[in-house]
Amino acid sequence: MRILCTGANHRSAEVAIREKLAFDADQRARALRELRGHWPEAEFTILSTCNRSEVYAARPVHGHPRLEQLHEWLREFHALAPGEHEDALYCLADADAVGHLFAVASGLDSLVPGEYQIVSQVKDAYAQATAAQAAGPVMNELFQTALHVAKHVRTETNIATGKISVASVAVEFVRQLYETLADKCILNVGAGKMNELMLRQLLDLGGARIVVVNRSPEKAEALAEACGGRAGRLERLPEHLAEADVVLTSTGSPRPILSPDMVRAAQQKRGYRPLLIVDIAVPRDVAPEAGEIDNVFLYNIDDLEQVVQSNLAHRHQQRGPADTIIAEHVGELLGSLNVRNIQPTIRALYRRMEAIADQELLEAAHKFSQHGDGEEDMEILQRTIRRVIRRMLHPCAKRLRESAGSDAARAHAAMLHELFELDQDDPPSK
């Protein structure tokens, strides 16, 4: 099997590009159906977060999609023009693709190295692919191993030491503008995990009034209650915005929910007091032009990196040990997949030899039945022939396993099928 990955992340593309490539839950479901429809023999998983949009595929060696086909499908799905943002999209195959996923799951490829939120995002992507019947045995082993590697890296290194996360960095922007949140109003838009993390950290600053707005009133009420605030109404968002001093937003909206006109109207009502907006959604919840309005301080997910880099020296030192752990697991997984590919040929070879032996034994049994010791003679002969078969085939099977995954192993497997007319139920992997 071959494992492929194509996509873009915060290292290869700015947020304006990433939001064009993002998948919401409905888009992921539709994309998985479309991929399976195009290439039914392959397996797929889509990982889409604020920092990345990636498509993973597993297919037979000589099957489809090719890496360039997967790359082109991603561009067409998001309606990118030919050549548009081509430099932002990367293509990875086999060990590079596996190593990349393991690094992603371990938090090494995150905006904040070692952050834990990515683990649940990888789990969700895998669960959705499984529910859509797009993930088969290879994707199952790949993503289960990725989650195991993430745990191994966190256990054996200090990559997650210190309270550094996207949420904590967002709160740092608040600290930079306001010494205290006493008598300030925080408007939170969205009710996801990141919203909760940001609000809980802001509670440590004390004194703020919190208003939570979400498309689902029930979720808004639950989060507001958990954080000591009150639930607002989405249809009254302009009014809530005019009351706010700090806006935190992270929703799954495919288009901005705070327009420049809405922000400008709120600022006029507020007398143009400083307004801090932290938008960590991808696609962005706030139109970038809103940041040009007087006394509006707008930060998006990419802006957080400036604060992150000044606090991560220790975590970067852990990258070497983490990379070593990942490399070991990449080798183990690929070795396991390669042996799995060669096993059908080995089983077919044994079945073929045993079928020949059974034919010979039937003829011998007829001959042995002509004298009194025939039953005992038959048992002896059966054991003898099967031992002979095992001894004859053991060196061949051992070498096939040792060279599994190589071009030589695939050639040898194909040759064995042809020379010994092995069952076509277990063809050599291509």
Q: How far apart are CA 110 and CA 42, in angstroms?
A: 28
In this structure, what DSSP letter does residue 51 have? S
The pLDDT of residue 64 is 95
pLDDT of residue 153: 87
> Where residue 159 falls among pLDDT bands split at 50, 70, 90?
low
What does the pLDDT read at residue 374? Answer: 63
Active site (annotated) includes residue 396: no
Does residue 30 have a pLDDT over 80? yes
Whether the predicted pLDDT of 427 surpasses 50: no
Domains of the chain listed by start with CATH number: 2-162 (3.30.460.30), 172-308 (3.40.50.720), 335-420 (no CATH)
pLDDT at res. 430:
45
Q: Quote the CA–CA distance of 124 and 47 in Å, as a whole number.
A: 8
Given a cut of 50, is residue 428 above it in pLDDT? Answer: no
* Mean pLDDT calculated for residue range 164-192: 82
pLDDT by residue (tens digit) across 221-240?
999 999 889 999 999 999 99
| Per-residue model confidence (pLDDT) at position 202 | 84
* Average of per-residue pLDDT across 168-189: 83
What residues pair up with 378 in beta bridges, in sequence order? none
pLDDT value of position 45: 97
Is residue 154 a contact partner of residue 160, using CB atoms and an 8 Å limit?
yes
Question: What is the percent of the chain where pLDDT is above 70?
Answer: 88
CA 4 – CA 134 distance, rounded (Å): 15
Contacts of 49 by beta carbon, 8 Å cutoff, 6+ apart? 118, 121, 282
The H or E element that residue 347 is part of is: helix 319-368
Q: How far apart are CA 154 and CA 144, in angstroms?
A: 16
Residue 358 has pLDDT above 80, yes or no: no
Is residue 56 within 8 A of residue 28, CB to CB? The reply is no
278: left (phi over 0), alpha (psi -120 to 50) or beta: beta
Question: Which pLDDT belongs to residue 366?
Answer: 66
Neighbours of 200 (CB within 10 A): 13
pLDDT tens per residue, range 377-416: 777 777 777 777 777 777 778 877 887 777 777 777 777 7
Distance CA 356, CA 161 (A): 63
pTM: 0.67
Q: Is the pLDDT of residue 100 over 80?
A: yes
- Across 184-198, 253-267, 367-381, least confident range: 367-381
Q: What is the mean pLDDT of the chain?
A: 85
In 3-state terms, what secondary structure has residue 92? Answer: strand
Residue 288: is the preceding peptide bond cis (ω within 30°)?
no
Q: How many residues does the chain have?
A: 430
Beta-bridge partner residues of 53: 8, 48
Cα–Cα distance measured from residue 19 to residue 172, given in angstroms and rounded to the nearest whole number = 24
Q: What is the mean pLDDT of residues 187-191?
A: 95
pLDDT of residue 313: 56
User: Can you tell me the mean pLDDT for 53-69?
Assistant: 93
pLDDT of 32 above 80? yes
What amino acid occupies position 62?
A: H
Q: Which of 5, 50, 91, 185 is catalytic?
A: 50
Sign of CA dihedral 53, 59, 61, 67: negative
Which pairing describes strands 209-213 and 246-249: parallel, antiparallel, or unpaired?
A: unpaired
Residue 318: what residue type?
Q
- Tell me how far apart the alpha carbons of residues 299 and 319 are, in angstroms, rounded to a whole number: 28
Average pLDDT over every residue of 47-56? 94
Side-chain half-sphere exposure of 416, counting CA atoms within 13 A: 27
Strand-pair category, 209-213 with 230-231:
parallel
Residues 47 and 121: beta-carbon distance below 8 Å: yes
At residue 207, the pLDDT reads 67
Quick check: 52 and 125 in contact, CB under 8 A?
no
Which DSSP string corresponds to 117-175?
HHHHHHHHHHHHHHHTT---HHHHHHHHHHHHHHHHHHHHS-TT-SS--HHHHHHHHHH
Whole-angstrom distance, CA of residue 249 vs CA of residue 245: 13
- Taking each helix axis from N to C end, the angle separating 193-203 and 217-226, rounded to the nearest 10 degrees, works out to 30
- Give the tens place of pLDDT for each residue, 112-158: 776 778 899 999 999 999 999 999 999 999 999 999 999 998 888 86
**Tens digits of residue pLDDT in 297-320:** 999 988 876 666 655 655 556 667
Closest by alpha carbon to 220, among 232, 237, 207? Answer: 232
Please indicate whether residue 189 or residue 182 has the higher confidence score (pLDDT): 189
pLDDT of res. 429: 46
Phi/psi for 392 (5° steps) reads: -70, -40
Q: What is the pLDDT of residue 173?
A: 79
H helices, E strands: number in the chain: 16, 10
pLDDT at 191 over 80: yes
As a whole-number percent, the residues of the chain with pLDDT over 90 amount to 48
Residue-level pLDDT at 369: 65
